[in-house]
């Protein structure tokens, strides 16, 4: 609550909206978020003229019209075929809401009509969620780190051996150091030559179990317990994951 030192309890189904300057979701939040960019062609956006200066009041006053428009979208949406798979991670939402919006946009595009401030164009929630995920830099860094580890150590690597490799400073070591830092955060203030097996263990621990899509493959970082004769405390190995088809 703004202006109060207070914690509020709300329903888990509540819609969360974040605003800020060039903020963006990352990691698991990237697959759960739709990003809307509000760009204003002037240096003082707070002084621009608003068509509706009190949006909450306007919404309450036009609640009936808004609900009527929403029900129109739902009623105009043809039933989904039994064999059609919802195209987002939110299955029930897509069946009820997402597909209705996509269908309305397709009808608008087919009719070629133009509504005020609403140009006809195709809408695909699958593509919108994919764009948000693709823009997640940390998610990309995780995938790149796994590719480098798999290429360098296809049979796995221990934390102490990796730490020694990173301290060497070869081209491959520098690339992996930077990629792991981007994937897990916080390594930008650490001197590379001081990297220890403990710090590597913490970084790799943040990536354990994460499944990333690389081309046609799914990859995951796993931890393999050592044998009694192994000098490392454990082996980290990037392994392919069998893709589960819906």
Query: Residues 40-53: pLDDT tens digits?
Result: 777 777 788 888 88
Q: Where are the domains of the chain?
A: 27-134, 137-240
pLDDT of residue 114: 65
Task: Please say if the pLDDT value at position 87 is more than 90.
Answer: no
* Token code pair at residue 221: 């970082």
- pLDDT category at 238 given cuts 50, 70, 90 is very high
Task: Please say if the pLDDT value at position 84 is more than 70.
Answer: no
Q: Tell me if 157 sits within 8 A of 203, measured CB to CB.
A: no
Selected residue with higher pLDDT from 140 and 237: 237
pLDDT tens digits along 196-205: 888 888 888 8
Task: Please say if the pLDDT value at position 245 is more than 60.
Answer: no
Q: Which residues are registered as beta bridge partners of 236?
A: 157, 223
Query: What phi and psi, each to the nearest 5 degrees, are found at residue 141?
Result: -65, -35
End-to-end Cα distance, the chain = 41
Query: What phi and psi, each to the nearest 5 degrees, are found at residue 239?
Result: -125, 150
Task: Please say if the pLDDT value at position 66 is more than 90.
Answer: yes
What pTM does this model have? 0.53
pLDDT tens digits along 188-198: 566 777 788 88
pLDDT of residue 151: 92
Please, what is the average pLDDT of the chain? 81
What is the torsion angle, in degrees rounded to the nearest 10, for the CA atoms of residue 246, residue 90, residue 142 and residue 34?
A: 140
Selected residue with higher pLDDT from 35 and 58: 58
β-bridge pairing 211-214 and 235-240: unpaired
pLDDT tens digits along 113-144: 666 667 788 888 888 887 777 666 677 788 88
Integer CA distances (angstroms), 81 to 65, 78, 186, 188, in order: 30, 9, 48, 51
Residue 223 three-state SS: strand
Q: Tell me if 206 sits within 8 A of 138, measured CB to CB.
A: no
CA distance 220 to 111: 47
pLDDT of residue 246: 47
Sign of the C-alpha dihedral computed for residues 202, 204, 209 and 211 taken in this order: positive
Q: Tell me if 102 sits within 8 A of 133, measured CB to CB.
A: no
The closest alpha carbon to 210, from 144, 159, 166, belongs to 144
CA distance 28 to 24: 12
Q: Which residues are registered as beta bridge partners of 245?
A: none
CA distance 121 to 107: 10
């Amino acid at each position: 609550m703004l202006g109060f030192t207070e914690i509020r309890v709300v329903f888990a189904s509540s819609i969360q909206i974040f605003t800020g300057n060039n903020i963006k979701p990352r990691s698991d939040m990237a697959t759960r978020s739709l990003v809307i960019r509000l760009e204003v062609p002037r240096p003082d956006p707070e002084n621009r003229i608003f068509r509706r200066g009190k949006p909450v009041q306007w919404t309450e006053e036009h609640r009936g019209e808004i609900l009527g428009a929403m029900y129109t979208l739902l009623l105009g949406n043809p039933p989904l075929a039994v064999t059609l798979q919802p195209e987002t991670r939110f299955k029930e939402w897509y069946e009820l809401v997402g597909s209705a919006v996509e269908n309305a946009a397709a009808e608008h595009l087919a009719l070629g009509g133009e509504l005020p401030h609403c140009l006809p164009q195709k809408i695909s929630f699958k593509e919108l969620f994919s764009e948000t995920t693709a823009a997640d830099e940390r998610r990309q860094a995780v995938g790149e780190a796994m590719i480098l580890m798999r290429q360098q150590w296809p049979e796995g690597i221990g934390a102490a051996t990796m730490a020694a490799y990173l301290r060497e400073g070869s081209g491959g070591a520098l690339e992996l150091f930077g990629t792991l830092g981007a994937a897990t955060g916080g390594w930008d203030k650490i001197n590379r030559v001081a990297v220890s097996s403990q710090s590597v263990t913490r970084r790799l621990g943040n990536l354990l179990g994460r499944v990333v899509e690389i081309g046609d493959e799914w990859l995951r970082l796993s931890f393999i317990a050592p044998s009694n004769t192994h000098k490392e405390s454990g082996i980290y190995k990037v392994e392919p994951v069998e893709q589960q088809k819906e």
